Structure 1
Amino acid sequence: MANRYKPLSHEAWQAEQAVIILAASRRLDWRRWPAARQVGYLCSFTGSLPVVEAHLGTGSVLAEFYRNCLHNRSYSEQQRCRKVLLALAYKRSELLWRPELSAALAALVQVYPQRCRELADWQPRSRNPFRQLESLVRHLFDQYGDLPTWVLNAWTANRLHDGINIADLTTHLGRGGALRTFHKLPVPLTRKLEHHLRQAPAGYTFLEALLYAQLAARNQLAWLGPVLDSRLGRRLSRDDEFYLRVVDFFAAAPMVDPNQFGPVCDWIHQKRRVGIGDEPAQPGFSLKGRSMAGVLAHTAKWHRQLVRARNNPDSRHPQETFASTWELLPVPNFTGGDKGQVRITQLGSYWELVEEGGALHHCVSSYLNSCQRGRCGIFSLTLNGVRTLTLEVLANRTIIQARGKYNRRLTDTEYVWVTRWAAEARLLVPKHLFAAAG
């Protein structure tokens, strides 16, 4: 049988339709239409995502809204989305069409049935789309006007699933529910912790707000910066209560450098979970009876072992460990300055981690397991070919650490380049990270 008579496979048919639709879409400029007509056009589509994107233009604003708000939604959800988007169009809201807010609007549509006020009664008081979003969330869900500012900020910062479902938490608190009774909390809360959690600064994630509350409850807020920079600030862990006692241990010691808190926590983690040298892991390890001088000496000794390991692999660091590589995070590297003298590059092997730690005298090589599991990526900033700064980026595209030689904070020059890279790569930057820049 001739090839022209063979039936097309479903995949080939989809590709053919996409080409036809793409050609037709080039003759249709929906960008010139009024917002309400664009909403109607967007909500008229069904079918596979590639075909719809061919209609709307791959990477276009409408395609982004379709992917987040309408794709794989039930009929009732699609109709609800149409209602909300049309209402925003009639309000001439700046929320349409901002691709960076499409995920937040999708979450808003999902919890829209739990609103306490009607969208028709909302009046935007600013042309800033982020302020409009905050105002809209307050209007729809904040019945008593006491939503914590960090919850509202999570909507505008697109951090709706950062350790907790912010949309569900918003509706729960908006109806007057207590934080400690929210059924999806990853940790139990006391009344005291809830009180301090509500007072956390606006730009904090849930994890940062929780650490703020835990330290405030212990009268240790002076240690918030070092704690946020340590492994406590990266993710919730069953060991958090233990490490909070490490904070008390540091606070009770006179004249101790707060920047040593993070390295000591890394040493303790290695000792409790992995083991150091020929010693097996010690899950029951405790600081009881230990002095601060002894703990710092053990931490420094472990660090020196990591540095020497590059040139002296032995039974504690088998050769296969040095050959370890992992899949890099989908975060672009950066080149800037005259003749590209500034570079930010992701490290992809254990050798590179050891070299980075040896050059800057810190313990970044201890991140081998986290890199292999895809929890984070380690980046090195070089100026004129010299390593000056190490950065940790979580899988959710948040920069959570920036450390130079001997764990120093970043300089003003490094701050400029890191913020420029973060803007280009669309990375989130917590406020505390650059608090001590310079």
Structure 2
Amino acid sequence: MSNRLKPLSHAAWEAQQARIVLSAAKRLDWRRWPLPQQVEYLFSLYGSLPVINAQLGDNSALAQFYRHCIHEQKEQQRTQCASLLRGLATKRTELLWRPELAPALAAVARWLPQRCRELTDWQPRSRNPFRQLESLVRHLFDHYGDIPAWVINSWTAGRLHDGLNIAELTVHLGRGGALRTFRGLPVPLSRKVEHHLRLAPAGYSFLHALRYAQLAARDQLAWLGPVLDSRLSRQLGRDDEFWLRVVDFFAATPMVDPYQLGPVCDWIHQKRAVGIKDEPAQPGFSLKGRSMSSVLTQTAQWHRELAQAPYRVPETTLTLDTTWVPLPVPDFSGGSKCPVRITQLRTYWNLLDEGRTLRHCVASYFDSCRRGRSAIFSLTLNGTRAVTLEVQANRTIVQARGLFNRRPNDEEGVWIRRWATENRLLVPKHLLGE
């Protein structure tokens, strides 16, 4: 009897309300309404996310717009979102049918007061919603028509917080501001680097575009593939100039495999930030006075030590059974004559075994896995390990390495692309040698 009188917890109350709303929503088919009516219905709703998701459908467009445009937003932001969505609902646009574009349209609404043209003057010229979004952003914020293509593309790719605030950068550039004067830049830019940054390919993220510009300013664009295949395409820190000098070190050495850059950068990072064996970290480590031969020898030796010491535990809190929360990327199986498997590695022992088998340093990525920054996958052909893949939290495949850090062959590349396509993973062009 006492349990009946016990008040419900907030979570239990929300679940109860969600069930009530769900039963009512089955009798309300808002998807058949015209867009203006859907928008008005959206802004008439009020409640917690579980209740709204139950009423509208977890993956529906209106549920996502409620989450990004209304839920826990200040009154001014809700007003601006309402103005934008009502304006778009009166036009022949596909934007409001795509739930994945809700964050981008919320960002458009956030900066709507800074527009250089009126929304009423915009008309979509394509049925493709992503091209419509690009057109809308340029219409509202690109006064001079010279915002770099990679900045606009970041809106459609869902990279609005890609090392810097893309929406704020768009408004800054749209008013005629210089890239190097943008206050949100993580590193200073010279005029030469700024020039090349504006010319970076459209599909690049900010970091990839920055690497493109830095190498172009150094006349080292031939090294773009190896650089984007290394940790330089994933991290940007205060010691960025040091890592560019590592690229200079390679570029000045004849007859060296460019794709040794990635393993060498991993070895240098280990030496500077973590330490090797019993040596403490050496933050001041540099390549000054070192030969390429000695650097490659020490890098290879470190890789061999990682492969030959599978039971060595680098810290007291780490055991061979240590696991972590995997990234929400499904495993893959396919093939007939030669079965193919792509499986996420979930324990420290899995990483050690993968690195020992393929003779590379994947075991050094256990911390990134535990922190949720990356996930490591193993591609096997007919039960034999072939390629190790690193997928970052933004669903981008940033590394693909086989035995002794070789690049994937054509057959392996086909399966990697198929897996990526099925799971909507981004595959940079340089990764598979395109």
Q: For this structure pair, what is the TM-score category when the shorter chain's length is used for normalisation?
A: over 0.9
1:21 maps to 21
2:49 maps to 49
CA root-mean-square deviation: 2.1
Instruction: Judge conservation of contact 2:36–2:86 (CA < 8 Å) in 1.
Output: yes
CA separation of 1:319 and 1:71: change in aligned 2, threshold 3 A: closer
2:357 maps to 359
1:344 maps to 342
Instruction: Judge conservation of contact 2:108–2:167 (CA < 8 Å) in 1.
Output: yes
Shift of 1:8: 5.3
Instruction: Judge conservation of contact 1:148–1:198 (CA < 8 Å) in 2.
Output: yes
Instruction: Judge conservation of contact 1:203–1:431 (CA < 8 Å) in 2.
Output: no
1:59 maps to 59
- 3-state SS of the aligned residue for 1:65? helix
1:72 maps to 72
* Partners of 1:348 and 1:3 in 2: CA distance: 41
Q: Does 1:245 align with 2:245?
A: yes
User: Which sections of structure 2, spanning at least 5 residues, go unmatched?
Assistant: none
CA separation of 1:251 and 1:37: change in aligned 2, threshold 3 A: same
* Partners of 2:10 and 2:366 in 1: CA distance: 44
1:209 maps to 209
1:112-142 superposed Cα distances (whole Å, 9 cap, x missing partner)? 1111001110111111111111111100000
1:297 maps to 297
1:382-421 alignment runs, 5 A limit = 382-421=380-419
* Partners of 2:338 and 2:21 in 1: CA distance: 42
Give, as a single letter, the amino acid of the residue that structure 2 aligns with 1:393: V
1:101 maps to 101
2:200 maps to 200
Give, as a single letter, the amino acid of the residue that structure 2 aligns with 1:267: W
1:110 maps to 110
Shift of 1:413: 2.5
Shift of 1:374: 2.3
Give, as a single letter, the amino acid of the residue that structure 2 aligns with 1:152: I
Give, as a single letter, the amino acid of the residue that structure 2 aligns with 1:304: R
Shift of 1:168: 0.6
CA separation of 1:339 and 1:2: change in aligned 2, threshold 3 A: farther
How many residues were matched structurally?
434
1:131-164 superposed Cα distances (whole Å, 9 cap, x missing partner)? 1111111000000000001001101111111111
Instruction: Judge conservation of contact 1:200–1:213 (CA < 8 Å) in 2.
Output: yes
1:349-370 superposed Cα distances (whole Å, 9 cap, x missing partner)? 2221121112222221221222
1:429 maps to 427
1:224-250 superposed Cα distances (whole Å, 9 cap, x missing partner)? 110111111112122321111111111
* Partners of 2:11 and 2:362 in 1: CA distance: 46
1:368 maps to 366
* Partners of 1:131 and 1:164 in 2: CA distance: 23
Shift of 1:24: 1.2
* Partners of 2:208 and 2:271 in 1: CA distance: 26
* Partners of 1:10 and 1:289 in 2: CA distance: 64
Shift of 1:410: 1.9
Instruction: Judge conservation of contact 1:336–1:342 (CA < 8 Å) in 2.
Output: yes
1:168-226 superposed Cα distances (whole Å, 9 cap, x missing partner)? 10001001111111111111112122111111111110001111111111111111110
* Partners of 2:100 and 2:64 in 1: CA distance: 9
Instruction: Judge conservation of contact 2:59–2:99 (CA < 8 Å) in 1.
Output: no
Instruction: Judge conservation of contact 1:345–1:380 (CA < 8 Å) in 2.
Output: yes
- 3-state SS of the aligned residue for 1:432? coil
Instruction: Judge conservation of contact 2:61–2:96 (CA < 8 Å) in 1.
Output: no
Percent sequence identity over aligned pairs: 69
1:32 maps to 32
- 3-state SS of the aligned residue for 1:387? strand
1:370-421 superposed Cα distances (whole Å, 9 cap, x missing partner)? 2233221111111221111111111222211111222222223222322232
Shift of 1:38: 1.0
Give, as a single letter, the amino acid of the residue that structure 1 aligns with 2:342: I
2:171 maps to 171
* Partners of 1:255 and 1:4 in 2: CA distance: 79
Which stretch shows the higher mean deviation, 65-74 or 297-306?
65-74
1:277-330 superposed Cα distances (whole Å, 9 cap, x missing partner)? 23222222221111111111111111111111026x48x788955444333223
Instruction: Judge conservation of contact 2:338–2:381 (CA < 8 Å) in 1.
Output: no
CA separation of 1:18 and 1:327: change in aligned 2, threshold 3 A: closer
1:2-13 alignment runs, 5 A limit = 10-13=10-13
* Partners of 2:71 and 2:200 in 1: CA distance: 35
Instruction: Judge conservation of contact 1:309–1:317 (CA < 8 Å) in 2.
Output: no
- 3-state SS of the aligned residue for 1:388? strand
CA separation of 1:21 and 1:297: change in aligned 2, threshold 3 A: same
Shift of 1:30: 1.0
* Partners of 1:6 and 1:364 in 2: CA distance: 52
Shift of 1:331: 2.3
CA separation of 1:375 and 1:27: change in aligned 2, threshold 3 A: same
1:83-98 alignment runs, 5 A limit = 83-98=83-98
* Partners of 2:276 and 2:122 in 1: CA distance: 60
User: Which sections of structure 1, spanning at least 5 residues, go unmatched?
Assistant: none
Instruction: Judge conservation of contact 1:356–1:364 (CA < 8 Å) in 2.
Output: yes
Instruction: Judge conservation of contact 1:21–1:51 (CA < 8 Å) in 2.
Output: yes
* Partners of 1:6 and 1:219 in 2: CA distance: 72
* Partners of 1:9 and 1:276 in 2: CA distance: 51
Give, as a single letter, the amino acid of the residue that structure 2 aligns with 1:413: E
* Partners of 1:12 and 1:295 in 2: CA distance: 60
- 3-state SS of the aligned residue for 2:430? helix
Instruction: Judge conservation of contact 2:61–2:99 (CA < 8 Å) in 1.
Output: yes
